[in-house]
């Protein structure tokens, strides 16, 4: 029997040494990871040169080109591009390097509750209760690998998305237009933009034709903004009102433009916002705070149990060794080893449900943060909508029609139902006097024109079908001064004109009114 007890004691001792070694290794790796992240962040810097800042919106096109030492017709030379890339670096926002897999795994052991469980497993093994120690360790390991797997997969998905969404730009260099990665842009480049393009850098407009830009991600306004190339007089004009400037990550919804790049990378306005966001520190979520608080309370409770039992044993004169084993066993039994696993599984299910709604969550704790959100305070309605317009009602030939469906999905209908020929005179202008396109339930162009195209499609008329029937031969683009757009179409030997615009302007152009 004594040999058996000695064996158990030796086994428990060995177990304790191994577990303590693992804990020491975890601590060492954690410290090393912090040092590596600091060194990577320190070395991962762009060149010190920053873009020279002028009040670009107050300069004429000629002055802006002169300041950047470039020409509109030819752009920069390759030699000048290489020199400026050495000065300003690549046109990309600073990003924290992705966490290595082993660091993600170690981060699963940060919780105080997890540390308490590990200590409980060590103590349980030390007093000979190997089954409890092994069970607790298995639960901790399963919890860690489940959280690691979810977060590692999210990191991989985000990396794949970034590769898929790599932005391309049309640039004029050495007198030739070429398409290249937006990261290769430098101040002084001439970028050519069309409807549907994403703006790859900040720049001064040097040529524009009926240009409208979606700046909702920048200003919160859901309505496209009209842009032009004339200089502005007031140097203090707010960013959102600088009608001759374009900003990175916004999108062209109508027209065409040529832009002189004035800022790239972290010198752009969106780069300044990214820098402010990078300075904010991650805070623990409410659930993490509650779990850490629970871990501290459990540790305190276990300590109190041990102290009380020792004190009572001393008062009663009981053997201290036996009392110590009993106290430790009760303290270990008070630890809810299954709680972390239950929390992790619950958050993983939430993460999976978010993924089914096409939302990638990098951290499990973010799911709980989103679930705790009760009020969103905002001063812009555009930030809370899907930035889509839908035609819901039509009044035509003294008849009111209602339109079903949402957004740019062509799944609704016009009620009461009538034949396509009855609505042909209404639907043709909607499809033909229109410069936008709808593809895969997304609009390329102006949101209002997209809503009109969807309305025509619900009535049975597509834009492609209408263009084949009446090909466009000329147009008068929409302009803020005359407030209308007109297109000219050939039909046999006749020319048909379709026009849309502000009601007060069109009514003044009419000689007589019909169906009013």
Quick one: which of 464, 516, 472 has its CA closest to 496? 472
Place of tokens 């103590």: 123
Say which residue the tokens 């009993």 belong to.
326
Please name the helix (run of DSSP H) or strand (run of DSSP E) that holds residue 480, with its range, or none.
Answer: none
CB within 8 Å of 157: residues ≥ 6 apart: 360
Specify whether the CB–CB gap between 219 and 234 falls below 8 A: no
What is the helix (H) or strand (E) element at residue 422, kind and residue range?
none
379 is catalytic: yes
- Exposure letters 287-304 (e unless 16+ CB within 10 A, then b): bbeebbebbeebbeebee
Chain position carrying tokens 């049975």: 460
Q: Which of these is catalytic: 3, 43, 48, 379?
A: 379
- Asked if 390 contacts 453 with a C-beta cutoff of 8 angstroms, the reply is no
Question: Per the structure block, which two tokens stand in for 242?
Answer: 């600088």
* Residues forming beta bridges with residue 169, ordered by sequence position: 180
Give, for 288, the enclosing helix (H) or strand (E). Answer: helix 286-316
Whether the Cβ atoms of residue 105 and residue 331 lie closer than 8 Å to each other: no
Joined together, the tokens standing for residue 448 give: 């209002």
Contact at 8 Å (CB) between 123 and 306? no
Cα→Cα distances 337→118, 271, 289, Å: 10, 45, 18
Cα–Cα distance, 299 to 335 (Å, whole number): 8
How far, in Å, CA of 399 to CA of 423, rounded? Answer: 11
Helix, strand, or coil here: 28?
helix
SS3 content of the chain, % helix, strand, coil (to 5): 50, 15, 35
Q: How many CB atoms lie within 10 A of CB 426?
A: 18
CA distance 122 to 17: 9
d(CA 147, CA 190): 47
Q: Tell which phi-psi region holds residue 340, choosing left (phi > 0), alpha (psi between -120 and 50) or beta.
A: alpha
Give the separation between CA 237 and CA 223, rounded to whole angstroms. 20
- Name the token pair of 503: 């009601």
DSSP for 79-117, written as a single string: HHHHHHHHHH--S----PPPPPHHHHHHHTT-SHHHHHH
- Catalytic residue ranges: 379
């Amino acid at each position: 029997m004594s040999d058996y007890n000695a064996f158990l004691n030796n086994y428990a001792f060995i177990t304790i040494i191994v577990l303590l070694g693992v804990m020491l290794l975890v601590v060492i790796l954690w410290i090393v990871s912090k040092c590596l992240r600091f060194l990577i962040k320190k070395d991962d810097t762009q060149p010190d040169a920053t873009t020279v800042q002028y009040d670009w919106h107050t300069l004429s096109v000629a002055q802006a080109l002169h300041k950047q030492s470039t020409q509109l017709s030819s752009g920069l030379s390759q030699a000048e591009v290489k020199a400026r890339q050495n000065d300003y670096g690549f046109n990309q926002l600073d990003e924290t390097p992705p966490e290595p897999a082993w660091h993600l795994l170690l981060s699963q052991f940060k919780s105080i509750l997890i540390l308490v469980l590990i200590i409980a497993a060590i103590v349980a093994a030390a007093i000979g209760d190997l089954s409890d120690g092994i069970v607790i360790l298995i639960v901790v390991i399963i919890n860690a690998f489940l959280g690691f797997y979810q977060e590692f997969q999210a990191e991989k998905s985000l990396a794949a998305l970034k590769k898929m969404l790599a932005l391309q730009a049309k640039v004029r260099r050495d007198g030739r237009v070429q398409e290249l990665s937006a990261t290769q842009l430098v101040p002084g480049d001439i970028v050519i933009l069309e409807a549907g393009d994403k703006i790859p850098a900040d720049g001064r407009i040097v040529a524009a034709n009926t240009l409208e830009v979606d700046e909702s991600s920048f200003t919160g306004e859901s309505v496209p903004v009209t842009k032009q190339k004339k200089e502005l007089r007031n140097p203090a004009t707010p960013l959102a009102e600088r009608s001759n400037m374009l900003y990175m990550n916004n999108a062209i919804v109508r027209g065409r433009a040529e832009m002189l790049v004035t800022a790239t990378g972290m010198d752009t306005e969106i780069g300044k916002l990214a820098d402010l966001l990078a300075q904010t520190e991650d805070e623990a979520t409410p659930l993490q705070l509650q779990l850490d608080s629970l871990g501290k309370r459990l540790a305190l409770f276990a300590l109190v149990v041990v102290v009380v039992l020792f004190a009572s044993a001393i008062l009663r004169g009981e053997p201290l060794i036996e009392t110590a084993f009993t106290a430790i066993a009760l303290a270990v039994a008070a630890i809810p080893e299954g709680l972390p696993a239950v929390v992790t599984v619950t958050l993983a299910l939430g993460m999976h449900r978010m993924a089914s709604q096409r939302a990638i969550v990098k951290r499990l704790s973010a799911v709980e943060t989103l679930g705790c959100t009760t009020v969103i305070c905002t001063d812009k309605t555009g930030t809370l909508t899907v930035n889509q317009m839908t035609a819901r009602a039509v009044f035509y030939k003294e008849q009111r029609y209602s339109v079903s469906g949402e957004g740019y999905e062509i799944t609704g209908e016009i009620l009461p139902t009538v034949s396509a020929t009855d609505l042909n005179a209404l639907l043709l202008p909607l499809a033909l006097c229109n410069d936008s396109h709808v593809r895969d339930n997304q609009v390329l162009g102006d949101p209002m024109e997209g809503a009109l195209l969807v309305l025509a499609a619900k009535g049975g008329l597509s834009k492609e079908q209408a263009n084949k029937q009446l090909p466009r031969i000329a147009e008068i683009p929409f302009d803020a001064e005359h407030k209308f757009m007109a297109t000219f179409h050939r039909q046999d030997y006749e020319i048909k004109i379709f026009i849309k615009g502000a009601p007060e302007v069109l009514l003044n152009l009419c000689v007589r009114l019909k169906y009013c």
